[in-house]
Amino acid sequence: MNIILLGPPGAGKGTQARYLVDTRNMIQLSTGDMLREAKDSGTEMGKIVADVMARGDLVTDEIVIGLIREKLEGDKAGGFIFDGFPRTLAQADALAELLEEKGEKLDAVVEMQVDDAALVSRITGRSTCGDCGEVYHDETKPWPADGKCTNCGGTTQKRRADDNEDSLKQRLMEYYKKTSPLIGYYYAKGQLSSVDGLGEIDGVRAAISAILDA
Ligand code: AP5
């Protein structure tokens, strides 16, 4: 099963993708994580994208499509979760072509609906485990008091450089200008389902599971 999690920054795509990886043996393909990895390891491409990401702008279609193409060559296990990809109509068309080349199809596009006011607090309160990537939030899922990640025991709490109000405004602007048209695109293709992303994490999980099991 191959699915897209679609939603604005902070909608909970990464949080839900991790759960699907654990419970359905799926592979999370987060273009944001891939780009951050390239940035941290100081590759040429990482240097090119660093400023773009810090500003909250989108990286070029060519770069992210190339990253996804490479990943589709590898193990597909229980299927792919596209998290943060596609983000433009050109990326959506490229994904359709890549899947077709591999004899694969897209089984569901899950739009996570969250109101903009909630996103500021979600983004500015977010941290992750530097070792396993478990996602935390200062209010709803605080970093453990003993300083150890509940998932892996790691002790490094990380915050993203673009998780501030200024970058978030730009990320939201990019989302509404370039990514939100994908909602209509997938609706017209008969592939779109929507969940209320404002509920408790477990409730959102259940809603997504119901769509995937239908
Ligand atoms: P990317 O890394 O994809 O970031 P994003 O889309 O902005 O999404 P986030 O990771 O910020 O949010 P999320 O929806 O995963 O939320 P999370 O689960 O963490 O992209 C970063 C940058 O890379 C882009 O700006 C762009 O520059 C570049 N880029 C990436 N892909 C690209 C592409 N395809 N094309 C071009 N450029 C690209 O949750 C957020 C917080 O909320 C957490 O603290 C979590 O604990 C909490 N939370 C989650 N769910 C709930 C809930 N139900 N209730 C309460 N709290 C919750």
- The finding on whether 18 has its CB within 6 A of some atom of ligand 1 is no
Distance 74 CA to ligand 1 centre (A): 24
Side chain identity at residue 137, one-letter code: H
- The finding on whether 13 has its CB within 6 A of some atom of ligand 1 is yes
Looking at residue 141, the DSSP 8-state letter turns out to be B
Mark whether 126 is an active-site residue.
yes
| Residues belonging to the chain | 214
Q: What is the mean pLDDT of residues 74-86?
A: 93
- Reading the block at residue 86, the tokens are 């596609």
Looking at residue 134, the DSSP 8-state letter turns out to be -
pLDDT 10s digits, 103-147: 999 999 999 999 998 999 999 999 999 999 999 999 989 999 999
pLDDT 10s digits, 12-71: 999 999 999 999 999 999 999 999 999 999 899 999 999 999 999 999 999 999 999 999
pLDDT number for residue 141 = 92
Atom of ligand 1 lying closest to residue 49 CA: 27
Q: Which ranges of 56-158 would DSSP assign to H, the alpha helix?
A: 61-72, 89-101, 116-124
Torsion angle, alpha carbons of 140, 145, 150, 152, to 10: 130
Distance 32 CA to ligand 1 centre (A): 8
The residue from 47, 105, 159, 169 that is catalytic is 159
Assess contact for 176 and 86: CB atoms under 8 A.
no
Dist. CA 90–CA 181, nearest whole Å: 11
Atom of ligand 1 lying closest to residue 91 CA: 34
pTM of the model: 0.95
Beta bridge partners of 158: 128
Assess contact for 142 and 127: CB atoms under 8 A.
no
pLDDT number for residue 74 = 83
Atom of ligand 1 lying closest to residue 32 CA: 2
